[in-house]
Amino acid sequence: MTPKMTNSKAMAAGWLSGVGLFLALAWNAGAAERGLAVTYTAPPGGRGGLKGTVKVYDKSVAVVIGIDQYRSANIPALGGAVRDAKLVAAELRNQGFTVTTLINDQATGRAIKELLGDLLPNRIGREDRVLVYYAGHGTSTGKGEDALGYLIPTDGDRDRIRSTGVSMRELADWFDGYPSKHVMFVADACYSGLALSTRSVGLSTAISDYLLQITKKPVRMILTAGGSGQVAHEWRGQGLFTRFFISAITGSADTDHDGIVTSDEVAAYVKPNVAQTARSRLHADQTPLVGRDGEGEFVFVVGKPSVSAASRVAVPEPPAEPAEPAAAAAEEPAPAQWEETPGAMPIFAGGKKLFLAVADLSADNIPPGEAAVVAGLLRGQLAGAGAFGVVEKRNMDMILAEQAFQQTGCTSLECGVKLGRLLNVRVMVIGSLGKLLGSYLLSVRVVEVETGRIMLASQAHFESADEIESGTKVLAARIAALVR
């Protein structure tokens, strides 16, 4: 149950929330101005109207909101919204986004409206992309065509939702006024009334210059976990919807293997996978809703485009429900609860020894030495698994020093591929280790260097440093299992 707050405590929390928001924006404003451009390199001959290396976005900006604790006694506390928000924020940072987070008491109605309605428009330009993610309670007023969805801030009240909530109409108005060509709103919450058309469709992929068109034309896209009367379910320690969303934007939704995941592909991947998994695993109904305005597509550049149809793989379906759920549950590793991207891609060794390297992990709010120790643990566990020839740290440093390459902070797919080519390895492991609110978050991506595809993307939380060693053993076993 959410603890009740006295008026004085509530006022203090609100004041501190404002200070935290101001500091976050002050830091992120400078970071956004230094934001990295997003580029896409088409295969020889071009792809979808794009040729050579094309700049898709000037910079990428994200706002991530997660609320577990609510001040109102009539709103139950949640157990995983903040965790899911952290996972999404970590992945977006891996993809080059500048991320501002509002967590629990920071996410008041005033803070959300001030950030999204007043401050953010001044931080973005025409050639930028903006993503807003929300995990928390949602609700709706009205029915049918008159329905209107609301996000419930930490200080919201269900009985006074029109005055204390953040309506989808407000969000749609703000997004419409943003100068950025591509804006996407993603909510791990269930409600109806999206304030954008749920019947509109994007351009046909059969258009010869499809990629050129969708990267130039504007779009406002909304994707939510479900409709009014449904519940946003948890599955395997993570929000079901968020699990498939992260999977989609890290490459699983790239069914045509052009190296780009569009917002339309995200929706086409997330919607059926969530609905099918909810039915088969949880015996529940949960069908994500999609709304859009515009013919463009919000895009995620996830890797090097494939030039061979033989490399295509089907969108992974949720596995069939096991005959003995209790026994299956007992096999889940503990204490490391890795949140693995569904549909991890194997690599074919052909009977040969594959060479792999583990980059120094990026350190987020921890001493760099701690991240280096964990990277060393992972190297040792992978070498012990026997599936790979692992490049020793000393040899790796010597090669990179000769090339004047700085590997610290290498978390992007592009950097991982470049690093792997310099080291002449088949597989590259990149990632980060951070600490937030007392717990560690280890985020790892396994990249096949030749194709630029992500074989595996996994994240796990650890309450102490002692748990990380067992966690690297589990991760090393999962990576080794991908070798065929």
Residue in the structure block whose two tokens are 């109409």: 169
User: In terms of domains, do 242 and 354 share one?
Assistant: no
Structure confidence by residue, pLDDT tens digits, 341-354 = 555 666 665 555 67
- Indicate the pLDDT class of residue 11, thresholds 50, 70 and 90: very low
**Structure confidence at residue 15 (pLDDT):** 35
Confirm whether 389 is domain-assigned. Answer: yes
User: In terms of domains, do 203 and 340 share one?
Assistant: no
Contact 318, 452 (CB under 8 A): no
Contact 247, 235 (CB under 8 A): no
Task: Give how far Cα 292 sits from Cα of 185, 251, 256, Å.
Answer: 10, 22, 22
User: In terms of domains, do 370 and 246 share one?
Assistant: no
Task: Give how far Cα 85 sits from Cα of 64, 210, 317, Å.
Answer: 6, 32, 25
Confirm whether 123 is domain-assigned. Answer: yes
User: In terms of domains, do 158 and 246 share one?
Assistant: yes
Confirm whether 466 is domain-assigned. Answer: yes
User: In terms of domains, do 247 and 386 share one?
Assistant: no
User: In terms of domains, do 266 and 353 share one?
Assistant: no
**Structure confidence at residue 234 (pLDDT):** 83
Confirm whether 431 is domain-assigned. Answer: yes
CATH of the domain at 110: 3.40.50.1460
CATH of the domain at 358: 3.40.50.10610
Confirm whether 23 is domain-assigned. Answer: no
User: In terms of domains, do 294 and 352 share one?
Assistant: no
Contact 94, 26 (CB under 8 A): no
Domain boundary among 294, 310, 326: 310
User: In terms of domains, do 305 and 427 share one?
Assistant: no
Structure confidence by residue, pLDDT tens digits, 295-347 = 999 999 987 564 432 222 333 334 344 333 333 333 333 444 566 555 566 66
Domain boundary among 310, 325, 348: 310
User: In terms of domains, do 340 and 299 share one?
Assistant: no
Confirm whether 19 is domain-assigned. Answer: no
**Structure confidence at residue 17 (pLDDT):** 39
Instruction: Report the percent of the chain where pLDDT is more than 70.
Output: 79
User: In terms of domains, do 355 and 471 share one?
Assistant: yes
User: In terms of domains, do 394 and 300 share one?
Assistant: no
- Which of 4-8, 54-58, 88-92, 191-195 shows the lowest mean pLDDT across its residues? 4-8
According to DSSP, the residues that pair with 66 across neighbouring strands are: 103, 135
Structure confidence by residue, pLDDT tens digits, 44-93 = 889 999 999 999 999 999 999 999 999 998 899 998 899 999 999 999 99
Is the pLDDT at 281 greater than 90? The verdict is no
User: In terms of domains, do 394 and 464 share one?
Assistant: yes
Domain span at residue 372 reads 336-480
The answer to pTM > 0.85 is: no
Domain boundary among 275, 294, 310: 310
Q: Measure the CA–CA gap between 3 and 225, rounded to whole angstroms.
A: 27
Looking at the structure of the chain, the number of domains it has is 2
Where is mean pLDDT largest: 170-184, 189-203, 268-282? 170-184
Pair of tokens at residue 445: 């991506």
Structure confidence by residue, pLDDT tens digits, 208-228 = 999 999 999 999 999 999 887
Confirm whether 173 is domain-assigned. Answer: yes
Confirm whether 258 is domain-assigned. Answer: yes
Residues 90-114: what's their mean pLDDT? 94
